[in-house]
Structure 1
Amino acid sequence: MTSWAIAVLTGMLAGTPLAGTPPVVASGTLVEAETFQATADWEVQAKLAGFSGEGYLANRRRMPIAPTHPRLQLTLDRAGTYDVWVRALLGGPADSGFHDREFSVEVNGTRLPPTHLGTEGYGFVWELAGQIAVGEERTVKLRLCDVGRAEAAVDCLRLTDDPQFRPAGWTGNSTRPGQGPYFRLPQAALPAAQPFTLPPAERQHVETVGAAPHTFAVTMGGTLDEFNTAKYPDTYGGSKRLDWGFQPNEYLVLENVGASDVVDPRIVIDGRRDWFSAETMLAGILKPGMSDAEKALAIWAFTASIEVQGHENNRRVGILLPDVRSHPSRNSFHERGDPVKAANCYYCSGCQYGATTCAVLARCAGLPARCVWMCPFDQYENHCVAEVFYDDRWHLLDPEARAFYLEADNRTLAGYESLHRQPELAARTHEGGFAAKPMAKSHTSLYEQYYPSAGMPIDRWTSSMALTLRPGEKIVWRWGHEGKFRCGQNMRNSNLLPYHLANGKLIYRPDLRSSASLHGALAERNVKRIVEDGATPPVHADTPGLASSVTYKMQSPYPIVGGVIGGRFVRKDRQAPLRILLSIDDSDWTEIWSAKDDETGAFERYLAIDAVLGGKFTPERCACYVKYEFTAPQAPDDAGLEGVYLELDLQMAATSLPSLAIGRNEVVYRDRTGGERQVRITHGWRESSATRPPQAPAQPAAPSDRSTVDKNALPKLAWPAAEDPDGDAITGYHVQVSPREDFVYPVSPNFDQLTFSNRPEWPVPEGWLVPGQTYSWRVRACDAQGTWSPWSRAWRFTVGDASRKSDTPKNTGGRGQ
C-alpha cells in the first residue's frame, strides 16, 4: 500500500474527516481491514495468529450479527472489471455446533455473495467475493457486512483487474455443510445398485383395504415380543435407554394398488404409538377431565418415557441451540425440537431437546411453556429443563432426567424458583427413570447456584407424518437398518449409530402403461404416453428431434438418508441423448447418469444416490426431484421410458413403528382420502417360544387391596413371589405407585422403580404420601432370561389421617432406603 493510503486509511479509522480528493490507488493494492471506519459493533483485535498488518477487524458483539457496517471509500487508478478478494476468519473448533461466519462485502451499494461459509478448519483464508465493474469515475465504496452464524473477523481485501491473480494456496471457496461439491458439479458418478426386494418372512399377513377406517386382526404366536423382552442398558453417566431381547417384527408394507392417490395413510396397532401429529399424540397422552396440573405431568411422562427417548448427546441429531441472534427457527434446532419428528425419527436425545419437546407439546395442549437453562445468564450450559405455567405460577419438568419435583405438600409441582430456594426438594427426588439405580444428584447444586434461569427461545415446532401415496407407491417400515442415518450439525457424533435406528423405504414404481401413472408426474415436456396413442415405449417423444422429459417429486415425512434411482429404458440410436438428473434442497440439476454409446436397445440402469446427499452432518432432507430426459432423433420411439424406479432410504426410530405383540392384535388403518382407495397392507414377522414369561402376582400381600393405612405405618409394599412356568428364577420386580388408576404418572419419580432384588417387597419412600389420598399400585416381574411378566392388576390403598404429621422433605437417597 502507498504511504498516502496508509496515512489516509489510518486517519479514517480514527474518525478523522478527510479533505480533498484522494490520490489514485493502484489495482492490486492490499487494503487492511483495520483501516476501515469502524462502528461501535466492531473493534480492531490482534488476538488470533496469522493476520497481516497491525491487526484485524472483528465483530465485538460475538454471537449476534453486527447490525452496522465498517466502511471505506477508495479511488482506483483505472476503470475496468475487478475481482474482489477478501481474507477473513474461517471455521471454528472442530467440536463446535456451528461456525460458518458468512461474511459479505458490499461494493457501491451492491452486496456480493457471502464468503467463508465453511465450518472445517480454523484461520484466516482468502476467498473470492465476486466481480465488480468500475466506471470512469473509478470510485469504490466498500462496506463489511456480518451475515453469518458466528462472529466475523476480517483481515484485509484486495481489488485487482488481473483475471489470472490467485492468492497462494487458494483452490476454491468454502461451502456450507450440506451444500458440498456434488451440488456444484454438473455431473456426479454414482455406483450401480439394485432395486429393493422384500425379504421373505417366517410369518405374513396380507390385508386388502377399500375403505377407511378399516379394522382387522393379526395374531402373532410364540411367547416373546419386544415388550416382554425389554432391557434397559446404560448410555453414559447412569442414563438408561430401551433395548429388547427379541424383536419379532420385520416389516410392514403399506402400498397403493389402486388408481388414485391415497392421502395420509397410517396404521395403529392396539392403540399404541399414534404419533401422526401433535394432535394425535395429545389424544393418547391426555385423558378426559384432566386439570392443567395433570396435563403437565402427563406430557412430562410421555416426553420422559424410555420408550420415546434416551439421553445420548454423542448420538443425537441436531445443533446445540436454537438461533439466539434471530428467530429461533433460523437454524436446524427445530428438526429435533419438533416432538413429532423426535418421536418418529430420532430416539436419541439431549436435555435441551427433551425440554423443548415437552414445552412444545404443552403449548399445543393450551398451556404456556418455556425452556430454561441452569447456568450463568445467557450462556446456555450445564442443563436445560421445561417449565409449564398454570395456577398463577411456573412448574418445572425435566424429561431428560426423567424427573419432576414436588413442593413440601407432596401435591404441588415445584418450579425453578422453589428449587433454587429449597434445593432439598430436588435432593430428595430420584433422577434417571425407573431403570436407574439411586444416583448422585447432578442438578441439585445447579438449582441452588444459578438464578434467575437462562431462558432459551423456542417456537411451536410441530409437523406431521403426512404422506400421499400415488398409484404404484408404497412405504415400507422396517425394524432393521443398513447403517444409514444423519446427525445434523452434531459434531460430537463420530459415526456412532443412533439407538433404535431403522431404515425404512419409500418406493415409487408407477405402471407407465396405465393412466393412473399420470397422477405421479410433476411435469412433462414433449412426451406422449401409450394411453394416449397406443405407441411404445410407454413414455416416448411427441415430436422427434426435440428434448423430452418427465419430472417426479419424492416427498417423505422421514429424513432421506439414501436411495436408488433408475428405470427401464429404450434407446435405438446410440446418438440419442438419455440421462437422469437429480435436485435436492433447491439445488441445480445434477446429472447422475447418462447413457453410454454401448447402451442401446432395451435395458435397465439403477444407481445408488447416497453420495449426493452430502453425508451425515447435513440438514434434514425430506424431498427430492428426479428428471428423466431423452431425445428421439428420427422417430418418436427412438428413445423413451419403459419403467421408472424411485427408492428412498428413510431414517426412522424403531421405537415408533407399529409393532405386533404376542396374541391377538387389533390393527386400525386410517387415511384422509376423499374418494375411493385400494390399499394393500403386508405384515412380516417371526415367532419365538424360546422361553415363557413369568406370571404376574395375583394379589397384594401388604397392604391388602382397598385398605386404609397410616402413612407412618407403611414401611413396605409386598406381594406373593411371582411364579415362572419354566422354573426360571425371578431376578427383580418393577413397582409403580400412582395417584391415578391409569398410572399415567407416578406419585413422584421415587414411586416408579425397579427393585433390583428378587425379594417380593419394596420399601416405601418416607415423607411422600398424603393423608386422605387414595393411591393405585401394581407390580411386574422379570426372570433370569430377561423376560417380563404382564403387569398385575391395579391394587389400591388409602392413607388415613396420621396421628403424627411430618411433611418435611427427607433426603432418602432417591428411593427411601
Structure 2
Amino acid sequence: MTTDETHRESITTTEAAYCIHVGGTVDGESVRDPVGYGNYGQCWENNLWTRLENVGEELVVNPWIEVGHSHWQSLEQILESILAPDMSDADKARAIWEFARRHRYHSTTADDEVKDTVKMLNVYGYTLCWDEAFTLSNLWQAAGLKIRRGLPHGHCTTEVFYDGAWHLLDSDEHLLVLGRDNKTIVGETEISRDHDLMKRSHAYGLLSPENRSRSESAASLFCYAGERSGTRARIGDHRMDLTLRPGESLTWRWDERGRYHGYGDAPPRFCNGSLMWSPPLDSTFERWTESSTSAQSNGAGLSADALSWLLQTPYVMVGGQLEADLGQSPVRVELSRHGEGWVELGNGLAGDVILDLDPYFAHDSAPCYSVRLRLTGSGVTVNDLHIELTLQMAPLSLPALRLGDNRVIYADGSPGRRVEITHAWREREDLQAPAAPIPEGFGTAS
C-alpha cells in the first residue's frame, strides 16, 4: 500500500534551503541494483515529479535545485563535486573513474550527443565504450591531466598519465588492472605484453558473474605492441543553463513516455520531463514574444497578424503538445526546430485547438534544444496558449528525495524572483528490509 505526498515551497530569495521528510520503509535507491556495466534493475521508485515554476513577473535566470549531490550544470561544477583541493594526480584520475563508472550504463544515442559529458550525465545517462572514452578524457583533461588514446582491438579506451607512467582506467567495463606487484595500476602496453594481468581482473562490473571465457575475451582485446600516441579532443561545451519566464516551468519526472533521442531502439532506462509555458497575453506580451506584427492586447488576449515565441531548454526536446483558444479568424501555426526552416502544424485553425507535436520530434532526427512557434493570419485572436515540450532526462541526475530527512537547496542568478517548487512522491511500509543473518553459534558459550 502506498500513499501520495506533496510539498510546496515558495521562494523569493537568491538562495534558499528547506527540509522534506520522506516516510515509509524504502525509497528508489534502496531497491536499485548497484550501477554497473549494463542497465541496472530497480523494482520501485518513490519519486513522482518535481516542478520548478516562475510564478512572478520577471525572468528567473539559472534556477536550480539540488538534493544530496552537487550541481552538474557544467563540466567545472561536475569536477568540483568529484575532486578535493589536496588530491594528487593519481587521486584525481581514480576519483574521476569511480564517478564515471557509477553514473551510466551501456547504451548510446549513436551520435555525438553522449560524448558531451554534461549532456550524458543530465540528459541521457548512458554511453557505449566509444562514448565513455570521451567521458573520461573530457573530465581528466579538464582536471589538468594528460591523456592518451587507447588502442585495444574492438573496444575504445583512454589512458591517463600520472606518477611518470600511463595507466588504463576503463569506466565502461569497470576495469582497473594491477601489475605483478598487486599495487600499481598498469597501462595498455603492460597488458598487451602480459594477458594474465587482464585475465585475473574482473571485467564488466559488480553485477557480472565471474566467467573464464569473458576474462579471456577481455584480455584478447589488448594486442597492440607498436608505438603509442594520439590524444582526444575535448567534446562538448553544453551547460544546463535555464531561464524561466513568467508562467514557465520545468518538471523533472521519474517515469518515461517512450519519447527519446537516438538512432536506434529506445534505451532500456530513461525519464521524460517537460517544459511548460503559457505565454503572457496581457500588456507585457512584447517582452515575451520574439516578434509580432500589428499586435495589441485587450487585457484578456492578443490580436495580431503574426506572433512568434522562442522556447529553449538544456534538455533535449523529444515531443510535446500545443493547446490554444483562438478566435474565429483562421490561423496558421508553424514550428521551427533549432534554427531550421518552418514546418506547418496546422492551417485554417480556429476556436479550441490541440496540436500533437510528437511527430515533429522523431527519435532519429537531429537533437533539438530550442524551438520557435509562429502564428499568422489576418487579425489572429489568441485568448489562451499553452505549450508543453517533452524532454529526455537521465534518471540518476534527477533531484531525488530519499528516505528520511532531505535538505533541498535552491539557487538562481536573478536580482529578484518568485518561484514555486513542488515535490510529489510516494511512501510505502509494506516492504521491510530483511534482518541481518546471525552466524551459527554467534554469541553462545564455547
Q: TM-score, normalised by structure 1?
A: 0.51
Q: Which residue of 2 aligns with 1:570?
A: 327
Q: Distance in 1 between matches of 2:35 and 2:206?
A: 12
Does residue 106 of structure 2 align to residue 318 of structure 1?
Answer: no
Displacement after TM superposition at 1:245 (Å): 1.8
Check the 8 A contact 1:559/1:651 in 2, yes or no: yes
Per-residue CA deviation, residues 133-170 of structure 1 (Å, 9 max, x unaligned), is xxxxxxxxxxxxxxxxxxxxxxxxxxxxxxxxxxxxxx
Check the 8 A contact 1:549/1:630 in 2, yes or no: yes
Q: Which residue of 2 aligns with 1:527?
A: 295
CA pair 233-457 structure 1, distance change in 2 beyond 3 A: closer
Q: Secondary structure of 1:295's partner?
A: helix
Q: Which residue of 2 aligns with 1:470?
A: 245
> Which letter maps to 2:269?
H
Q: Which residue of 1 aligns with 2:91?
A: 294
Q: Which residue of 1 aligns with 2:47?
A: 249
Per-residue CA deviation, residues 87-135 of structure 1 (Å, 9 max, x unaligned), is xxxxxxxxxxxxxxxxxxxxxxxxxxxxxxxxxxxxxxxxxxxxxxxxx
Q: Secondary structure of 2:71's partner?
A: coil
Check the 8 A contact 2:48/2:253 in 1, yes or no: yes
> Which letter maps to 2:352?
E
Q: Which residue of 1 aligns with 2:403?
A: 662
Q: Distance in 2 between matches of 1:722 and 1:282?
A: 40
Check the 8 A contact 2:148/2:229 in 1, yes or no: no
Displacement after TM superposition at 1:394 (Å): 2.0
Q: Which residue of 1 aligns with 2:423?
A: 683
CA pair 437-561 structure 1, distance change in 2 beyond 3 A: same
CA pair 243-276 structure 1, distance change in 2 beyond 3 A: farther
> Which letter maps to 1:283?
E
CA pair 554-450 structure 1, distance change in 2 beyond 3 A: farther
Q: Which residue of 1 aligns with 2:377?
A: 630
Check the 8 A contact 2:333/2:376 in 1, yes or no: yes
Per-residue CA deviation, residues 295-353 of structure 1 (Å, 9 max, x unaligned), is 00010011111xx11123xxx2123xxxxxxxxxxxxx2x1101111111222321111
Q: Secondary structure of 1:676's partner?
A: coil
Q: Which residue of 2 aligns with 1:641?
A: 382
Q: Secondary structure of 2:150's partner?
A: strand
Q: Distance in 2 between matches of 1:536 and 1:663?
A: 47
CA pair 284-539 structure 1, distance change in 2 beyond 3 A: same
Displacement after TM superposition at 1:253 (Å): 0.3
Q: Which residue of 2 aligns with 1:269?
A: 67
Per-residue CA deviation, residues 398-417 of structure 1 (Å, 9 max, x unaligned), is 11110112233333321122
What does residue range 81-100 of structure 1 map to in structure 2 within 5 Å?
none
Displacement after TM superposition at 1:518 (Å): 3.9
Q: Secondary structure of 2:282's partner?
A: coil
Per-residue CA deviation, residues 762-786 of structure 1 (Å, 9 max, x unaligned), is xxxxxxxxxxxxxxxxxxxxxxxxx
Does residue 219 of structure 2 align to residue 444 of structure 1?
Answer: yes
Per-residue CA deviation, residues 518-555 of structure 1 (Å, 9 max, x unaligned), is 432111222122xxxxx3653224xxxxxx21211111
Check the 8 A contact 2:283/2:299 in 1, yes or no: no
What does residue range 648-797 of structure 1 map to in structure 2 within 5 Å?
648-673=389-414, 675-694=415-434, 722=437
Per-residue CA deviation, residues 262-319 of structure 1 (Å, 9 max, x unaligned), is 111111112x2632211221111112311000100010011111xx11123xxx2123
CA pair 424-452 structure 1, distance change in 2 beyond 3 A: farther
Does residue 275 of structure 2 align to residue 506 of structure 1?
Answer: yes
Displacement after TM superposition at 1:452 (Å): 4.5
Q: Which residue of 1 aligns with 2:443?
A: none
> Which letter maps to 1:343?
L
Displacement after TM superposition at 1:627 (Å): 0.8
Check the 8 A contact 1:500/1:655 in 2, yes or no: no
- Runs (4+) of structure 1 exceeding 6 A deviation are none
Q: Distance in 2 between matches of 1:555 and 1:233?
A: 31
CA pair 288-587 structure 1, distance change in 2 beyond 3 A: closer
**Structure 2, gaps ≥5 residues long:** 441-446
CA pair 454-400 structure 1, distance change in 2 beyond 3 A: farther
Q: Which residue of 2 aligns with 1:399?
A: 171
Q: Distance in 2 between matches of 1:367 and 1:279?
A: 14
Displacement after TM superposition at 1:684 (Å): 0.4
Displacement after TM superposition at 1:500 (Å): 2.2
Q: Secondary structure of 2:326's partner?
A: strand
Check the 8 A contact 1:523/1:551 in 2, yes or no: yes
Structure with the greater relative contact order (CA < 8 A, sep ≥ 6): 1 or 2?
2
Q: Secondary structure of 2:345's partner?
A: strand
What does residue range 38-77 of structure 1 map to in structure 2 within 5 Å?
none
Q: Secondary structure of 2:189's partner?
A: helix
Q: Distance in 2 between matches of 1:643 and 1:274?
A: 36
Check the 8 A contact 2:146/2:161 in 1, yes or no: yes
Q: Distance in 2 between matches of 1:433 and 1:507?
A: 39
Displacement after TM superposition at 1:232 (Å): 5.6
Check the 8 A contact 1:509/1:645 in 2, yes or no: yes
Q: Which residue of 2 aligns with 1:223?
A: 25
Displacement after TM superposition at 1:390 (Å): 2.4
Q: Which residue of 1 aligns with 2:81?
A: 284
Q: Distance in 2 between matches of 1:536 and 1:688?
A: 47
Q: Distance in 2 between matches of 1:212 and 1:240?
A: 40
Identical aligned pairs, as a percentage?
31
Displacement after TM superposition at 1:580 (Å): 1.1
Q: 2:181 aligns with which of 374, 387, 409?
A: 409
Displacement after TM superposition at 1:385 (Å): 0.9
Q: Which residue of 2 aligns with 1:585?
A: 338
Q: Which residue of 2 aligns with 1:711?
A: none
Q: Which residue of 1 aligns with 2:309?
A: 552
Q: Distance in 1 between matches of 2:229 and 2:130?
A: 12
Displacement after TM superposition at 1:693 (Å): 1.9
> Which letter maps to 2:431?
T
> Which letter maps to 2:381?
G
Q: Secondary structure of 2:222's partner?
A: helix
Per-residue CA deviation, residues 19-78 of structure 1 (Å, 9 max, x unaligned), is xxxxxxxxxxxxxxxxxxxxxxxxxxxxxxxxxxxxxxxxxxxxxxxxxxxxxxxxxxxx
Check the 8 A contact 2:271/2:392 in 1, yes or no: yes
Displacement after TM superposition at 1:366 (Å): 1.2
Check the 8 A contact 1:577/1:630 in 2, yes or no: yes
Does residue 207 of structure 2 align to residue 435 of structure 1?
Answer: yes
Q: Which residue of 2 aligns with 1:607?
A: 355
> Which letter maps to 1:554?
L
**Structure 1, gaps ≥5 residues long:** 1-200, 320-332, 376-381, 530-534, 542-547, 633-638, 696-720, 724-757, 760-817
Q: Which residue of 1 aligns with 2:11?
A: 209
Check the 8 A contact 1:374/1:454 in 2, yes or no: no
Q: Distance in 2 between matches of 1:525 and 1:653?
A: 40
CA pair 536-520 structure 1, distance change in 2 beyond 3 A: closer
> Which letter maps to 1:311?
H
Q: Secondary structure of 1:447's partner?
A: coil
Q: Which residue of 2 aligns with 1:98?
A: none
More helix by share: 2
> Which letter maps to 2:31?
T
Check the 8 A contact 1:260/1:519 in 2, yes or no: no
Check the 8 A contact 1:509/1:644 in 2, yes or no: yes
> Which letter maps to 1:209?
I
Does residue 136 of structure 2 align to residue 361 of structure 1?
Answer: no
Q: Distance in 1 between matches of 2:437 and 2:77?
A: 37
Check the 8 A contact 2:189/2:225 in 1, yes or no: no
CA pair 273-227 structure 1, distance change in 2 beyond 3 A: farther
Check the 8 A contact 1:486/1:616 in 2, yes or no: yes
Q: How many residues align?
A: 435
Q: Distance in 2 between matches of 1:693 and 1:210?
A: 41
Displacement after TM superposition at 1:392 (Å): 3.2
Displacement after TM superposition at 1:213 (Å): 1.6
